[in-house]
Chain A
Amino acid sequence: MRDHRTSGASLRGAAAALLVGVLWLAPAVAAAQIRNYSPVTDARLLNPEPQNWLMYRGNYAGWGYSPLDQITTQNARKLTPVWTLGTGVAEGHESPPMVNNGVMFVSTPQNQVLALDAKNGDVLWYYKKDLPDDLLQLHPTNRGVGLYEDKVYLATVDAHLVALDAKTGRVVWDKVVEDYHKGYYCTLAPLIVRGKVMVGTSGGELAIRGFVQAFDARTGDTLWRTYTVPAPGEPGSDTWQGDDWKNGGGSVWIQGTYDPQLNLAFWGVGNAGPWAGDFHNGDNLYTSSVIALDPDSGALKAYHQYHWNDSWDWDEVTPPMLIDVQRNGRPIKGLVHPGRNGYLWVLERGPDKISFVDAKAYVRQNAFASVDSATGRPSYDAEHKPVRGRLVDFCPSLWGGKDWPPAAYNPRTKLVYIPSNDNHCGSLKSKQEEPTKPGQLYLGVEVKDIGLSVYPGSKTIGRLQAWDPNKMERVWAQDFVSHSFGPVLTTGGGLVFQGGTNDRYFRAFDAKNGQMLWEFRTNSGVTAVPMSYMVDGVQYVAVQSGWGVDAERMQGALIAAGYQAKNYAKDVPIPQGGVLWVFAVGK
């Protein structure tokens, strides 16, 4: 276990109180040195201990699953807060705390990182990136730190990758990923595989050309960069026309998954830009796709494009979960992805190929006329595919069947839990003229011409769904009046945890049947990734609450369209301001 360099409760308490008090004043402050810190080794990342949460989704397979089973369907109703921490900032809190043998690291918007005693919430050290004055933050958030050996890695909204000393919070190195003036920024948790720290960039709305880049974990040296949009002459470049590829989008803003047997990292790739398809004619590889990269070289080994020539702002940035599925009696090394395009995709992964297995709509979707049963290539209903110059409506809206919040997989129930939004449709009236400069908003549509509506007769939007990926059947669903931006956690105790609604609740459900077992009203909306850990024999569930970013935008769009925010009067915003909540079963 770690220890403090300083001693005495008064000093520790004073340091903690003072550090919280000055959260926004200093770019980097070390309060105490953590002794006996457990280095995060390759072996530990491959087989994380049940009591820890060492990466964004808990394991390389992207399951969002904690094997801990002390909190169960029987005692979940006794969950109660044991400690909290105000983060001192507003905007969308989306990251999970990471826990390594009693030490917690949590990141927040504005690129703060706090190291905490996971048992009692003592602040051990604090870091804040000194962000430039002229920074544009289209998505002011962060989705978590990476842990490796004795360092903590933070990808920042000004497109840097920063390595911190896990014991002190001191900056070990700080590298530029790309020039933020050109629209690049980072919101994802780095994926770390055998000494390589991999990140991608956001900026698809700001005329970027997306990529994944690997850095040496010790030195910060760049090892490779692989673009998600090929240059002329490269494989896939024939799916672009003219110079469209230069600002083609293809953002990568969620941590990838990793298969150690194949030594492949799977990354979800965002949409092509600007939004309407006739701004960038062609299939536009590798946008709205999953790509498989060799972490050693960055070589692109395989891909599958979920939908070609995206025209709906349907990023497919969530990477597929690595799940063993059965198909007609045959075991398949699967890639399972609930798409923003509203279809649940099952693919088969191999060393140099990704094969289509099945796809089925899990929300109301009217843009696909069909999906080819052999290749998975969709055909489109032209009436619902946005083009320049006319108003086109489509379902689901640009926020998709599932936006960025990650789904989860429980190996005990063998169910996939999808945080979806259903019954919403959108419209775009795209511009005729060509777009503007890199680094400036590059949607191809005036924001006032982005429509949102609720399907006639529908009373709910948010829907937590459990699917059997073997049978491709929905097993249960929980509906919410509000839209939902709630990442999902599932546990060995047979539970599913999710927030995401505009009523500020964080909830627990029975993983087998969806029955709601517990709910707790937090300070703000819960759009962060929940996680679970154990210290000294006690299981905890932790999540940040702090409404913002796309949950807030969709809320605003619903109100603008005349739909009342449940529990909130029109024009009264959902309260912002982050708080980290830690729950355990009360005595």
Chain B
Amino acid sequence: MDNVSGRCACFARTLERRAALKVCLGIALGLHFVRPAGVAAVDPKDERPQDGDRLVFADGERAGQVIASADLPVGGPRVMAFPMAPATRLVRDGSRLNKVLVVHLDPGTLGEETQARAADGIVAYSAICTHQGCEAMAWDDATKTVWCPCHDSKYNPRDNGRVVAGPAPRRLATLPLKLVDGVLTVAGGFSGPVGGQTH
């Protein structure tokens, strides 16, 4: 709502004031009409990863088991994971936006920002492509990049998830990690928005 008000104020300076204000009012009412007050309670399984969550395998024979650094060979391939609340052991797999891609890289190859969010060379990124929301994020072993085959975007996991090819509009959000007793543990929320960023 604030954004719209701001834009209306800007337009009001350049347009015939009375007419523009009427239009602004109409838009404000329109927004109110289609977005009624009240926010539904969020299912705990849908809640985004939180500091202290453990990472567990998202699929395969070990689905639901915690991931240790020893499970991840240096240089890839990547592993898909979900966060798990440690106290309740609730896996936060209610929203596909919680899926993260984890890969173990040589710490010496990581950029400064990436290094700060990594745990002993292990990095985690949102597994959802920022282009149109695909989660089929593959590992391109030849270039050691994260690849979305839906529309051919590539991301560099050593450089903060930066887009290096394809139509993706922005980098992958990073999930900061730490190691607690050798287990991959979330060290904070996503560094930016997750999901397709064009709608």
Contact = CB atoms under 8 A, between A and B. Distances in A.
Given A30-B26, A31-B26, A110-B198, A14 B149 contact: no
Contacts of A29: 26-27, 30-31
Interface in A109-160: 110-111, 130-131, 133-138, 140
A22 interface: yes
Given A30-B26, A134-B95, A14 B151 contact: no
B196 A137 contact: yes
B172 to A, nearest CB: 15
A134 B22 contact: no
A26 B136 contact: no
Interface in B110-155: 128, 132-136, 138, 140, 149-152
Contacts of A130: 34
Nearest to B31: A26
Contacts of A573: 167
B8 interface: yes
Contacts of B195: 133-135
A131 B30 contact: no
B96 interface: yes
Given A10-B16, A17-B15, A137-B199, A441 B30 contact: no
Contact of B199 (A17, A131, A446, A448): A131
Residue of B22, B97, B133 with most partner-chain A CB within 10 A: B133
A129 B3 CA distance: 18
A8 B19 contact: yes
Contacts of B34: 26-28, 130, 171
A220 B177 CA distance: 48
Nearest to B169: A90
B152 A137 contact: no
Contact of A140 (B20, B97, B132, B138): B132
Nearest to B142: A448
Interface string A5-22: 000101100110110011
Nearest to B22: A11
Contacts of A18: 7-8, 11, 15, 20, 23-24, 27
A492 B20 CA distance: 44
A22 B15 contact: no
Interface in B1-31: 3-4, 7-8, 11, 15-16, 19-20, 22-24, 26-27, 30-31
Given A21-B7, A22-B7, A22-B27, A135 B16 contact: no
Contact of B135 (A89, A136, A556, A576): A136
B35 interface: yes
Contacts of A294: none
Contacts of A111: 199
A409 B191 CA distance: 54
Contact of B149 (A17, A171, A448): A448
Residue of B15, B128, B165, B198 with most partner-chain A CB within 10 A: B198
B188 to A, nearest CB: 20
Interface size class of B (residues with CB under 8 A): 35 or more
Given A137-B132, A137-B199, A556-B152, A17 B11 contact: yes
Given A21-B7, A552-B167, A135 B133 contact: yes
Contact of A441 (B19, B31, B33, B150): B150
Interface string A537-577: 00000000000000011001000000000000001010010
A247 to B, nearest CB: 16
A440 interface: yes
A447 interface: yes
Contact of A138 (B27, B31, B96, B132): B132
B198 A140 contact: yes
A15 B30 contact: no
Given A18-B11, A171-B34, A136 B133 contact: yes
Contacts of A133: 97, 194-195
Contacts of A137: 132-133, 196, 199
Contacts of B11: 14, 17-18, 21
Interface string A340-384: 000000000000000000000000000000000000000000000
A525 B49 CA distance: 41
A26 B149 contact: no
Contacts of B97: 133-134
A25 interface: yes
Contacts of A10: 15-16, 19
A135 B199 contact: yes
Contact of A26 (B4, B138, B165): B4
A118 to B, nearest CB: 22
Contacts of B33: 28
Contacts of B8: 18
A138 B35 contact: no
A194 B87 CA distance: 58
A91 interface: yes
Given A15-B23, A26-B31, A135 B196 contact: yes
Interface in B30-72: 30-31, 33-35
Contacts of A447: 138, 149-150, 152
A261 B135 CA distance: 47
Contacts of A21: 7, 11
Given A138-B150, A447-B149, A14 B19 contact: yes
The 6 closest A-B pairs by CB, nearest first: A447-B149, A137-B132, A11-B19, A441-B136, A136-B133, A14-B15
22 contacts: A10-B19, A15-B19, A17-B15, A18-B11, A21-B7, A21-B11, A22-B7, A22-B27, A30-B30, A133-B195, A136-B132, A136-B133, A136-B135, A136-B196, A138-B134, A171-B34, A447-B138, A448-B138, A448-B140, A448-B149, A553-B152, A573-B167
Given A90-B167, A134-B97, 7 more contacts: A10-B15, A22-B27, A130-B34, A133-B97, A135-B196, A136-B135, A448-B138
